[in-house]
Structure 1
Amino acid sequence: MFDSPLSQSAYDVLGVAADAGDEDLRRAYRLRLRATHPDTGGDAAAFVQVQRAWELVGTPESRAAYDRGHGFGEYAPQPDAPGWRPRGAPADTRPKARVYGHPGGWRRERYLVLVREWAGRGVDVDDPYDPALVRRAPHEIRRLLADALAEEETARIVADLGMGFTVWHDVAASGRRGEPEAKLDHIVLSPSGLYGVLSEDFGGPVSLRRGELVGGDVDGAPIAELLARMRVIARAAGVRFGGAIVVLPDDDLPQAIVEVGRVRGIPVVVCARSALATVLRRGVPGARDVGGNEMFDVRTRLQHAVSFV
């Protein structure tokens, strides 16, 4: 709820400045609690947010920990490493998925350029991932980081699914390099099918209307754009996608897995991040399985056709 660059801080939810005194903070909490309580006509979701905010900053110890923050750079990509892995990940000898490309890499780089320009007019800042700095940044800058983090979270989940899976990240979907707005976040090849995957964080709840995502911060038509990019890759590689998957933060969906049905002939599922492994192992309903020699052929075709942004 509070771990997205697009979400409000605990202080924003309580309606006080970050440097408010303890008594002012306590008074604001009580006022917000009364104003949002469902028994007095308040909003239940807002009431829960207020309670969670108080848990984070309601005691000197928790407030100090929250103010220090974990930052948003804990899992920055490592360009000198083969493939991709999270920073500081413990040694794990289990077989991993085959991984190509750097998830969220372009958006991380663009974020760093823009946040430094905004914060220091091109002069380096001490910590570009400091939570206080991130939350003050303009929305379009925070959105870059939120999307990068979303892509990295998906990458971690898919990497742990095992050697039967192959994934390509940050794939150019325009036929030309350097056009990130025409990229496909992930291509996942698995025994359950070949999928195009979009990882998003819109900063709040979303819903579906006529086969498309809608919500307060949803721009354009994400599902239609995902399918269009998948068609570009399918033509270039001579492959057929079995389905499309949109991955969102757990709090932003009314249920963990939403089966959208066929959109422009492609089965589509929208799922919470915690349900992604289940979806990929089980398969998208209506998607065609890929196995045996066909999986090897599809992997080879994609390897020859894929380029990265």
Structure 2
Amino acid sequence: MSASPLSASAYEILGVAPSASDDELRRAYRARLRETHPDTGGDDAAFIRVRRAWELIGTIEARAAYDRGAGQESAWRVTPTEAPKTDTRPRARSHGHPGGWRRERYVELVREWAGAGVELPDPYAADVVRSAPDDLRHLLAGALAEEATARTIAHLGIGFTVWHGVAAGDRILDHIVLSPSGLYGIASADFGGEVRFRRGELIGEAVRGETPVAVLLAGMRAAAKAARVRFGGAIVVLPDDALAQPVTPLGAVRGVPVVVVRRSVLGHLLRQGVPGARPIGGNELFDVRTRLQATVRFV
């Protein structure tokens, strides 16, 4: 089970309330096993999720740990993207605060949702996140996605420069990455489910009618105009389990190739370059970096 704030809880997978008794929990588990077992026509993936949910809350000790948020709550907190002090390898040049504006908005709204006068010492507590409205959990999931992308890029080395949380006209551009393989605009997302594609855009129940590719390209156009630079490619980064294949090209929009990638292959793609993207080197790379550094503003 994913640690995403959008993932169904173990209780939801088994179809019981968090207040269910141990006997109710056990009966629900057995019923869900029968419903999802592949030998009786069930779905193999659903069967695996049911088994995993039982591992998480099937015993008194495991259930208590799960209810405290062990293994999930820590992943929802702010985590540094800097290298450990023992890591002396050169890092990518990094500017801005990945996921920062989403985290600030999440904390503000989750306190409003809790209500005036309600003590909410920890907005990342497991019970708070799991019970928060869908829009709030989407904000936190987006922040986590940006932070995960930032960690990947940081490890790519000093040849890479990245700007996080860029104000681009009336849009927000999650990341701008300058590398020898090209200049890229990147959107980091987590919709909490599998996505599909139609006419160069992401679709699916989890996407909820959003147009992430169009939003990304609009932000890139605004940033390109302000800095007088030219992007070589657009990348949408999603959790691995959201995509059926590692890299999905969506074609070119106004000459800019667009790809959707699993998070685990982002580093490789940035090193190798998006197919069709124009590489940047020498004096041009220095010029592009200077232009961006002078014009980029952060949210």
**TM-score, normalised on structure 1?**
0.90
Report what 1:38 is aligned to: 38
Q: Is the partner of 2:73 in helix, strand or coil? A: coil
Matching residue's letter, 1:273 = R
Q: Provide closer, same or farther for how the CA distance between residues 72 and 183 of structure 1 changes in structure 2, counting only shifts above 3 A.
A: farther
- Cα deviation code 1:249-292 (max 9, x no counterpart): 11111112212222332111111111111111111111011112
Report what 1:80 is aligned to: none
Q: Provide closer, same or farther for how the CA distance between residues 19 and 167 of structure 1 changes in structure 2, counting only shifts above 3 A.
A: same
Structure 1 position 29 matched with structure 2 position 29:
yes
Structure 1 stretch displaced more, 37-46 or 235-244 = 37-46
User: Distance in 1 between the 2:115 and 2:84 partners?
Assistant: 31
Which of residues 95, 105, 125 is equivalent to 1:130?
125
User: Distance in 1 between the 2:125 and 2:83 partners?
Assistant: 18
Please say if residues 192 and 281 of structure 1, whose CA atoms lie closer than 8 Å, have aligned partners that are also in contact.
Answer: yes
The number of equivalent residue pairs is 296
CA RMSD between the two structures:
1.9
Shift of 1:118: 0.9
Structure 1 stretch displaced more, 22-31 or 3-12 = 22-31
Report what 1:300 is aligned to: 290
Alignment of 1:62-77 (within 5 A): 62-69=62-69, 70-71=72-73, 75-76=77-78
Structure 2: which 5+ residue stretches go unaligned?
A: none
- Cα deviation code 1:236-255 (max 9, x no counterpart): 11111010110001111111
User: Distance in 1 between the 2:118 and 2:64 partners?
Assistant: 28
Alignment of 1:56-135 (within 5 A): 56-69=56-69, 70-71=72-73, 75-76=77-78, 85-86=80-81, 91-121=86-116, 123-135=118-130
Shift of 1:207: 0.8
**TM-score, normalised on structure 2?**
0.93
Report what 1:191 is aligned to: 180
User: Distance in 1 between the 2:89 and 2:226 partners?
Assistant: 33
- Cα deviation code 1:166-210 (max 9, x no counterpart): 000000011xxxx5xx10000001111110000001111101112
Matching residue's letter, 2:155 = D
Structure 1 position 268 matched with structure 2 position 258:
yes
Percent identity between the two aligned chains? 65
Shift of 1:104: 0.7
Report what 1:3 is aligned to: 3
Q: Is the partner of 1:217 in helix, strand or coil? A: helix
Report what 1:54 is aligned to: 54
User: Distance in 2 between the 1:111 and 1:94 partners?
Assistant: 34
Question: Structure 1 runs of 4+ off > 3 angstroms?
Answer: 72-75, 85-91
